Amino acid sequence: MSRQAAADRRQELLDAAVRVIAREGISGATTRAITGEAGVSLGYFHYVFTSHDEFMAAVIDEVTDGDHFQGESAGLAGIDVAASDPVDALLAGFDGYLDLLEDSPHREQAMLEITFSALRREGGQEQARRQYDRYRQSAARVLESVASAFGRSWAVPVADVARLLVVMTDGLTTTWLATRDTPAARRAARACAEALAAQLEPLPDHAESR
């Protein structure tokens, strides 16, 4: 099998796991169920992954890399810095994430299943902590990009603002999954963007130039 073909089959297994977990929960995400969903043999699963724990870690990486804080790519896309403000950039990031959530709700449902399963399992706290560390790191990159683009700095440590952004995104996610009310979610996202932007202040050289 070529390297590309192997990578494609690995991706099929990861995508299949997300679908199974969202549909059946962690308890239903057996190796047999996942390979059946992906249309590959049990032997191939064990060829690609040495253990189920390694596989679940790869699933977490797959979803956290792809889902949270699309503002890294979308937050500043299409924003005319000279004609807009940080709220616009932050809101674009939230809107990009909500678009993704609306398109693939099963991915976030799967992540919630994985998180709470880890918290119930002995030793799983560390897995959940790593998951949220990734979220906060991604959030901090978004926030630093926005501040830099608009010649601002955060009035409090960016790590604290990043934690708040994670909390906001979690709230938007769980509420949307429960209600599927996208217009309400976008209104809430604007309020979140405004609250975050209120923590920005001009850099000294920008302040003096006014």
pLDDT, one tens digit per residue, over 26-68 is 778 888 999 999 888 888 888 888 887 788 778 877 766 654 4
Q: For 10-19, what is each residue's pLDDT tens digit?
A: 888 988 988 8
| Pairing relationship of beta strands 200-202 and 152-154 according to DSSP bridges | antiparallel
- Judged against a pLDDT cut of 70, whether residue 2 lies above it is answered with no
Pick the more confident residue, 7 or 92.
92
Q: At 49, is the secondary structure helix, strand, or coil?
A: coil
Distance (Å, rounded) from C-alpha 143 to C-alpha 172?
18
Q: Which CATH class is domain 3-59?
A: mainly alpha
Q: Domain 67-209 belongs to what topology?
A: Tetracycline Repressor; domain 2 (1.10.357)
**Domain chopping of the chain, boundaries:** 3-59, 67-209
Q: For 112-135, what is each residue's pLDDT tens digit?
A: 887 887 788 777 788 788 878 888
Mean of the per-residue pLDDT values of the chain = 82
Q: How far is CA 159 from CA 50, 112, 199, in A?
A: 35, 23, 12
Percent of the chain with pLDDT over 90: 25
